Amino acid sequence: MFAEGVQAFDLTNAAMVFIVMAMSSFWRTPGRATLRDIALVCVADALVGASFGALAVSGGLPLWVPVAMSLLVFAGGAQFAAIGVALAGGAPLAAVATGLVLNARHLPFGLAVADVLSGPRWARLLGSHLMTDETVAFTLRHDDPVRRRATYWLCGLALFVVWNLSVLLGALAAHAVGDVNALGLDAAFPAVLLALVLPALADRPTRHAALLGALIAVAATPLLPPGLPVLLSLLALVPFLPRLRAPS
Amino acid sequence: MTATLPMAAILLLAAGTYAFRLAGPLLHERLGAADRLAAPLAMATTVLLLALAATSALTEDQGFAGWSRTAGVLTAALLALRRAPFPVIVLAAAATTALLRLCGIP
C-alpha cells in the first residue's frame, strides 16, 4: 500500500517536472528563427493538408475518411498513397500495405530522436504519435538536448493541430477547390522536405550518402511497389558506416 | 463502383504506423549506451528524407511525375540553397508548377 502511494507520488512529480521544463523551454529555447521556421512549415503543410482533404472527398470518399486518417495515421505521405490506391479502385488491404511500407521509416526516425522521447511514459506514448518527417528534420538541426526536446514538441503539436484542421477544411471545401493539381501543391511537399534537410547536407559524408540514397530510390521506383524504394535508399549508408565508427 | 476505405483499414494503418513510431524509442532504451549510434542514425534520417523528397519530386505511380513538378521543386532547391525564407521556397515551388501547367506542360 505504502509503496504504491510513493510510486504514484513519484509519477505525478515526474510529470509535473516534465511539464514545467517543457513549458518554460518552449519559449526560451527554440529561438526566434526556429519558431519562425516552424510557423512557416505549418503554413506549407496546411496547403498540403487542404489539398489532401479536397482530393479524397472530390474523388468520392466520404468526409470522415480523410478526417479519421489524419487524426489516427497523421503521416501525409502514407495518407496520400493509401487514398491513391483506394481511389484507383485498389483493395483496402493494398492501401494499408502501401501506407505501412511508407511509414516504416519512422522506426529509424524514432531511434534518432529517442532522447527527446525519454522521460515519463505518457510523454513517450503521446510524443511518438507526433513523429513526422518535418518534426524529425527540425529536431536534428539542434544538438542541445533541451532545445531538441522543445523543438520536437512544439513542432509536433503545432503540425498536428494545423494538419487536422486543414484536412477538415479542404474536405469541406472540396468542390470549391476544384482541380488541386492546377495549383501546383504537389510540389509543396518535396519542397518542404528539401528545405528542411538542406542544413544536414553541409556535412560531406552525409551529403554523399544522401545523394547516393536519392539516386537509388528514384532508380528503384519503376521496379518496386510504393514505399520500398525510399527504404532501399538506406543501402547508401553502407560505404560510410566504417568511417563513422572509426573515431570512437 | 465508388471508392471505399473502411474504418478497419484506417485503424490497421494507424496501429501499424504507431507501432513503427513507438518501436524506435523503445528499442533505444533496450539497447542502452546508444550514443555511438547517434551519428549513423542522423545520417540514416537525412538519407531517408532526401530519398523521400527526390521520389516525391520526380515520380508518381512508378513513372515520371512530369516537368512541371520537377521544375517547381528545382526552383525550391535553388531558393533553399540561397537561404530564402520558408514560405518563399514553398510558394515558389507551387507557383512554378502551377504556371507551367497553365502553359500546358504536364
Domain ranges, ordered by start, for chain B? 1-31, 37-106
- Is the pLDDT assigned to residue B99 strictly greater than 80? yes
Work out the burial of residue B73: count CB atoms within 10 Å of its CB; fewer than 13 is exposed, 13-18 middle, 19 or more buried: buried
For B63, phi then psi, to 5°, come to: -125, -175
The position carrying cell 468526409 is A63
CB-CB under 8 Å, B93 with A133: no
B74 close contact with A: CB closer than 8 A:
no
**pLDDT, averaged across chain B:** 89
Task: Supply the pLDDT for residue B16.
Answer: 97
Q: Which residue of B has its CA nearest to A111?
A: B24
Task: Supply the pLDDT for residue A63.
Answer: 94
Does B42 or A201 have the greater pLDDT score? A201
Task: Supply the pLDDT for residue A233.
Answer: 93
Task: Supply the pLDDT for residue A20.
Answer: 59
C-alpha span between A104 and A111 (Å, rounded): 12
Task: Supply the pLDDT for residue B2.
Answer: 58
Does B13 or A142 have the greater pLDDT score? B13
Pair B5, A83: CB distance under 8 Å: yes
CB-CB under 8 Å, B8 with A129: no
DSSP class of residue A29?
S
Task: Supply the pLDDT for residue A15.
Answer: 63
C-alpha span between A164 and A130 (Å, rounded): 12
Q: Which residue of A has its CA nearest to B103?
A: A182
Average pLDDT estimate for B44-57: 91
B88 close contact with A: CB closer than 8 A:
no
Task: Supply the pLDDT for residue B18.
Answer: 98
Contacting residues of B for A205, CB less than 8 Å apart: 43
- The CA distance from B104 to the nearest CA of chain A, in Å, is 10
**Percent of chain B residues topping a pLDDT of 90:** 58
CB-CB under 8 Å, A110 with B25: yes
CB-CB under 8 Å, A109 with B42: no
Using CB atoms, pick whichever of B45, B87, B94 lies closest to residue A140: B45
Task: Supply the pLDDT for residue A16.
Answer: 60
Task: Supply the pLDDT for residue A7.
Answer: 44
- Mean pLDDT by runs of 10 across the 248 residues of chain A is 43 60 59 84 87 88 95 93 82 88 91 92 95 93 91 96 97 78 83 88 94 96 87 92 60
Q: Model-level pTM?
A: 0.81
CB-CB under 8 Å, B48 with A233: yes
Average pLDDT estimate for B62-68: 92
